Amino acid sequence: EAGVAQSPRYKIIEERQSVAFWCNPISGHATLYWYQQILGQGPKLLIQFQNNGVVDDSQLPKDRFSAERLKGVDSTLKIQPAKLEDSAVYLCASSPWDGRGGRTEAFFGQGTRLTVV
């Protein structure tokens, strides 16, 4: 089974530029997550999709961050404009969880390391 694919692996941009990350979840997984992991901290949930609907985006800085999951499969996360404090690893994860309770495992991609200079 192919894992969660993310691209690019690394990105360096200047402050105030825009950047986009792409995620291809495991086939058939209904739930997709974007996490931000700042160096020395645990991952923080930015947004959670179930199919193509948003379940939770309470911690997404909506003035500069946006995400979409068209057709309930691939997802993109965009930052526009970027700030220095956005330097982090952006992790995408997917899960077969369908919102009806129980426990399912979240599978993580390798992440995109963003450096804002």
Q: Which residues bind other proteins (CB under 8 A)?
A: 4, 31, 33, 40-45, 48, 55-56, 91, 93, 95, 97, 101, 103-111
Shortest separation between residue 37's beta carbon and other proteins, angstroms:
9
- The three-state (H, E, C) secondary structure of 65-115, written as one string: EEEECHHHCCEEEEECCCCHHHCEEEEEEEECCCCCCCCCCCEECCCEEEE
Q: How far is the CB of 117 from other proteins (least distance, A)?
A: 21
Identify which of residues 17 and 37 has a Cβ nearer to other proteins in the complex.
37
Q: How far is the CB of 40 from other proteins (least distance, A)?
A: 7
Buried b (16+ CB within 10 A) or exposed e, 30-46: bbbbbbbeeeeeebebb
CA distances from 59 to 36, 86, 108 (A): 10, 14, 19
* Nearest residue (CB) to other proteins, 93 versus 114: 93
Looking at the Cβ atoms of 81 and 113, the one nearer to other proteins is 113
Q: At its nearest, how many Å lie between other proteins and the CB of residue 56?
A: 6
